[in-house]
A and B are shown apart, each in its own frame.
Chain A
């Protein structure tokens, strides 16, 4: 085993401890961001909706990840075309 692989393993050992918790926290932040962008589709007025809608193509992949993570195979929002 070369030195580089050894260092990678060491780094992995030290990162494993909080990996799950950090992923969960980052997902919570992503979910909140998603809600802020598309709250209008859920019936919550969003004065910036016209602008946030421009992010739609960039968010498509993350939206798909979100609804599958939440246990929904298909998009729950009619206005948000996904899979």
Chain B
């Protein structure tokens, strides 16, 4: 099948979703009012609450939510064939992610721009707020561990990308200095920095001496370096430790010094990445060589695991945090919420769709695909590498040599993952400090203590799972846990929107159905993995304490959300909100 046709079908479905479904939801369910005074106008302080042009706000919303996650999940999920992954991305984006992101934005706008956590307390009660905080904590912990592994894995697989990624750090600090100390603009220096990074990537692709290939320095898989670890295992260990030291520094520095200029450069990279994927696709129109449905994928069933493998790209709870945390405070008109929220989800769906196509067109034949995706473990550990190579191959359509394009795509994905990692560690630091303030534990309210807890716990989590290459290389086993914790967050946000719609006496099926679906899949997936794969109770697998422990926590949280949902929705007279705005 032609890949262009698949891309066009996907875009058409997204178009229909935006044009008709989101219009129906906006008019009949959320009932947007162009005359409603949004928090941006009501509390305009020039800082948090600022009325913002809808195109600017959409761009900000999209660049905040799009990262490496909508690439990693689909690249793994192609294991079951490209068709199930595409269907879930399309239907998930149109019927779940769209109404979720859009709804979180509207709910927050109708409640003075309050975040989902505060609204959980208001609409359901204190228990829901505690649950929400725990889910966020577990999500950020998973994000830290998973993305540290993702970056280490890419550095090991594509050593030519390392130089560019590390060059970005001093360049970003220089831009921060130029902009805030010398009062310069950020656009031109950031473009110059991007050009420098890509020149470094091109040179490193062709000059092996500039490729920082730790496994070969340590003697490869055959050499035992220290503590019984071979060259690859010690490379994972070294990269993860370096990354953790980096995120510690990055998340404690003032934002203008490193994070803002780095995110600014990375936003250019999002544009470059999407351009490479879609222009390459339309100019080269490669065949989809992966099977539509992989009948050889029998070790792990697609139902329910597909739905926790692709979280971002189909539905992601993290979007609700962005929508209710910042975007809602900047919405100029309530009717803009449809454009910003729903199209933000569509943007991420497009990225996921491109990731599926890049992987499904990489292989020369179906047997090559079946060799690379021989098991679910192989898909987990190699999926992202396949995406990078697939995207590199697509780039040949716009006359970029495959080796150079592969390095540039690896740099882009590492940069996305690093942005997510920085943000997540910073967020975890804030949550730990907040918990310290709430429970009067002064020590953990301190910046460096909270950051140390965040970094050490994340490092421990990513180093514990042992993969085929040894210590630290098995971080990919955490991916399904990341997916489920993200789905839990989405589930609780959908529950809040549903309760709000019920209070308002409107049809709440548009949010209730995706919520029930998500929670059923999460419970089913966690239950199955706990019983069949991780505890060894119903199979001959070995007992894995870490996965059983984390899986049980997530299972309990999912069950908790379901009980809260039943409790909230079966109340005969829901508690009336105090403020009239609701």
Q: Are B53 and A9 in contact (CB-based, < 8 A)?
A: yes
Q: Which of B47, B64, B268 has the most A CB atoms < 10 Å from its CB?
A: B47
A-B contacts at CB below 8 angstroms, number? 61
User: Out of A10, A14, A16, A18, which one reaches B57, CB within 8 Å?
Assistant: A16
Count of B residues near A, CB < 8 Å?
Answer: 26
Q: Are B60 and A11 in contact (CB-based, < 8 A)?
A: no
| A17-B64 contact in complex given A9-B56, A22-B260, A23-B47, C-beta closer than 8 Å | yes
A-B contacts besides A14-B263, A16-B330, A20-B47, 17 pairs, CB < 8 Å: A7-B187, A10-B187, A11-B185, A12-B56, A13-B55, A13-B59, A14-B186, A15-B186, A16-B57, A16-B60, A17-B60, A17-B63, A17-B64, A19-B50, A21-B255, A22-B254, A25-B254
- A-B contact list, 15 entries, CB within 8 Å: A9-B56, A9-B59, A10-B59, A10-B187, A14-B268, A15-B186, A16-B52, A16-B59, A17-B60, A17-B260, A18-B260, A21-B255, A22-B254, A25-B255, A26-B256
Count of A residues near B, CB < 8 Å?
Answer: 19
| A25-B56 contact in complex given A17-B64, A17-B263, C-beta closer than 8 Å | no
Chain A interface main SS type: helix
Write the chain A residue with the least CB distance to B270: A14
Chain B residues in contact with chain A, CB under 8 A?
47-48, 50, 52-53, 55-57, 59-60, 63-64, 185-187, 254-256, 259-260, 263-264, 267-268, 326, 330
A58 beta carbon closer than 8 Å to chain B: no
Q: Are B185 and A18 in contact (CB-based, < 8 A)?
A: no
Write the chain A residue with the least CB distance to B426: A21
Please name all residues of chain B whose beta carbon is closer than 8 Å to the beta carbon of A21 when the two chains form the complex.
Answer: 255
How far, in angstroms, from A13 to B260 measured CA to CA in the complex? 12
Q: Are B255 and A15 in contact (CB-based, < 8 A)?
A: no
- State which residues 17-57 of A face B: CB under 8 Å: 17-26
Q: Are A22 and B63 in contact (CB-based, < 8 A)?
A: no
Q: Which of A7, A19, A23 has the most B CB atoms < 10 Å from its CB?
A: A19
- Quote the shortest CB–CB distance from A20 to chain B (angstroms): 5
Q: Which of A7, A16, A22, A26 has the most B CB atoms < 10 Å from its CB?
A: A16
User: Out of B47, B56, B256, which one reaches A16, CB within 8 Å?
Assistant: B56
Q: Are A13 and B47 in contact (CB-based, < 8 A)?
A: no
- Quote the shortest CB–CB distance from B539 to chain A (angstroms): 45
How far, in angstroms, from A24 to B268 measured CA to CA in the complex? 25
